[in-house]
Amino acid sequence: MSGKTAKVYLQPALTTPSDFSPEQKRDIAGALTVLLADVFTLYLKTKNFHWHMSGPHFRDYHLLLDEHGDQLFAITDDIAERARKVGGTTLHSIGQIGRIQRIKDNDAEFVTPLDMLAELREDNKALAASMRETHSLCEEQGDVATTSLLENWIDEAERRLWFLFEITRAERGE
């Protein structure tokens, strides 16, 4: 796993029985925890932009970002529960998210609608790449359940990316 890693504790009281080795549990749960931090970060950024959208396409963009936020939030529990099911732990706090997230926050007072959509396009592209990386790790470890979930999440990320690409391309006059 490139970039940031998550410390995953294998406490006897929390270690779910499985046939994964301690190293596999650590690696899979660690990758899922970092992925979860990125999903929460992208969820909050998407909602931030949804709440602060303006301009002539307000309704369409506002509704699109609400849909994207719902998709992202919907996978958070599944990601965290997979980390627990394989025998690891997952996120404990917002502070932990801040320490391990790879997707950058945007705290700007004002962002133009086109810049919002372009930034989310790139973030969803990065998220899809991170999901593929996690998929490869899980596939190497024989974690077919997580790879199966990731395949659907990658498809959703690619759909978000596609929509955001088409909107930003049309707005640029391509």
Q: What is the CATH number of the domain that holds 125?
A: 1.20.1260.10
- The answer to whether residue 73 sits within a structural domain is yes
Q: How many helical (H) and strand (E) elements, i.e. helices and strands, does the chain have? A: 5, 0
Chain centroid to Cα 59, Å, comes to: 25
The string of pLDDT tens digits covering residues 57-88 is 999 999 999 999 999 999 999 999 999 999 99
Domain assignment present for 6: no
Q: What is the pLDDT of residue 9?
A: 58
Whether residue 119 lies inside any domain: the answer is: yes
Q: What pLDDT does residue 136 have?
A: 98
Q: b/e string for 123-139 if b means 16 or more Cβ within 10 A?
A: bbbbbbebbebbbebbe
Least Cα distance to 82 among 165, 34, 145, 24 occurs for 145
Q: Is residue 13 part of a domain?
A: no
| 4 found inside a domain | no
What is the dihedral sign for C-alpha 92, 101, 47, 109? positive
> Does residue 127 contact residue 103 with C-beta atoms inside 8 Å?
yes
The whole-angstrom separation of Cα 121 and Cα 128 is 11
Q: Is residue 120 classed exposed, middle or buried when 0-12, 13-18 and 19+ CB atoms within 10 A define those classes? A: buried
- CA triple 94-44-57, angle to 5 deg: 170
**Looking at residue 6, what is its pLDDT?**
75
Q: Please compute the mean of the pLDDT values over residues 120-126 and round it to a whole number.
A: 98
How many independent structural domains does the chain possess? 1
3 is a domain residue: no
Question: Average of pLDDT values for 158-164?
Answer: 98
Which residue range(s) make up the domain with 82? 22-172
Do residues 106 and 42 lie in contact, with contact meaning Cβ atoms separated by under 8 Å? no
CB 32 within 8 A of CB 83: yes
Confidence of residue 4 (pLDDT cuts 50, 70, 90): confident
pLDDT at residue 46 tops 90: yes
Assign 164 a pLDDT band (cuts: 50, 70, 90).
Answer: very high
What single letter denotes the amino acid at residue 52? H
Within-domain flag for 1: no
- pLDDT tens track for 99-111: 999 999 999 999 9
pLDDT digit string (tens) for 132-160? 999 999 999 999 999 999 999 999 999 99
% of the chain beyond a pLDDT of 70? 91
Tell me, what's the pLDDT at 96? 97
Give the model's pLDDT for residue 174. Answer: 58
Tell me whether residue 98 is in a domain.
yes
pLDDT band at 15 (very low <50, low <70, confident <90, very high): confident
So what's the pLDDT on residue 98?
98
CA 10 to chain centre: 23
**pTM score:** 0.91
Mean pLDDT of the chain: 93
